[in-house]
Structure 1
Amino acid sequence: MRFRDKVVIVTGAGSGIGRATAQAFAAEGARVVAADMSGQVYATVEGLDNAIAVSMDAGKESDVEALVATACEAFGGVDIFFANAGISGGAAGIFDSSVELWTEVLRVNLIGPALAIKHAGPKIVERAKQTGGGAILCTASVAGLRSGAGGPAYSASKAGVINLVQSAAQQLATSNVRVNAICPGLIETGMTQRAFDYAREVGKEHKLGQLNPLRRAGVPDEIAQVALFLASDAASYVNGQAWVVDGGLSSSHPVTRQEFGKPAF
């Protein structure tokens, strides 16, 4: 029960990583505000004690302000904010992407976390004076580290998230509020579901995640467990970092991979 009586906001909680993380926080005693544009967010909190669902747009400032206010009214403050909501923007290349696509992807994926920090940050600092600390987490991506893991707009937005948490960690110096990013690799979520469904349909499920050393895709709970660690007192000296959770994908440049126990050539 690492998070007993802690108040946690999770955006993008209607499915995938957000749902798994919201439910994991609740299982460890947190009072959870699960938020998403999708009505599926209400299913996320079904059967959970001390959890409420909010329908909102994570990239709209008035919605983020209202979300933070709801958490404070319902539970008395905010200790942890997981800015997880995001969109893929599709696979269009730089020369095929419209300004409208870039604008929407950056609005949700980068401005959204910035708004979370702007509006939840002061409330978390206020609580940290009483409790000793707080945490802000943002979902970035391995696509934000280098090219090849997402479309250009998506990748650029996630690179921005990594720098955002570094900047926020500096601006929150002395507050004892830590800010970190998580960089997932290939995880089966609503965003990637079409690719997973197609691979299964054509009998190529074994190829999902084949480029990382573990030779498999990840599941949302594997990201949720990292999020809980980074939000917990066990990570009290982790700040301004981008934690990669990708099965080892980003540990190497693309090569013809050696089979375990077999010669490389």
Structure 2
Amino acid sequence: MDKSEFPKRSILLSGQNGKKFSPFAVKNNQVFIREGFIQDATIGSAQIKEAAITNTKIGGPLQSTNWAAGRSGWKIEKAGHAEFNDATFRGTIYATDGWFKGTVSADKIEGDILDMSPNFFKTKKGSIPDSQSVIFPLFYIKKTASPRRVLLLGRKEKGIALSVSPDWVRATITRDGMDVQYLGKAGAGLLGEYVNAVNEDIDITIPAGEGEVLIGLRLQSTRGKLRMFNWTASGDIYTMKNAASIKIA
């Protein structure tokens, strides 16, 4: 039988009592469905042309068949959370917060990304008893969700300047009482004059967490004599910003 002999139109009629309607029809190899409910369907390829959807409500998540949390595929939750392997946005992205585990590259970054306390200055004169150490508070740094680097950079000289007489004193930077940066030793000659001094910038890391940490200067005597010291901490303090993270001690 020639294909031309097949009917080009098939219509399914429904209804009764003279109220007939066609919920399903086939015309020119196209299927027309007036209204339908599909409980579960797999569509190999679909094209929707000039569709106008006024309102769509989805009770559960949308996800690809290969979705696995943190590994493959994509998923959009009912509450709005979404997970994709990669995404490309050609417009502007607006977000309240964000977290990046890897490297972030940008042609230009604007905003308060650096907290700075300029013109920091502290100085102290005194003595250290035999075989003892003293910690002098400098400033506080607020912790954040990730580790952060903190710098005290002097403008002309180094940030920490220390001189001691008549013998040697060891100097370190502390973080909540723990030594985190060794600065060196300062001392004097046989006649008591200053012949060696510590001149260093502070460069330390603050671990992730909550609350704030105290950065201090520890001076520790190394021989059995009373030490007279004179130290100055000055310059600019820098750290990644998070709600005014620097507080002078």
Task: Give TM class, smaller chain.
Answer: under 0.3
Considering Cα pairs closer than 8 Å and 6+ residues apart, tell me whether 1 or 2 has the greater RCO. 2
Q: Which structure carries more strand by proportion?
A: 2
Task: Say which one has the larger Rg.
Answer: 2
Structure with the bigger percentage of helix: 1
When normalised by structure 1's length, the TM-score is 0.22
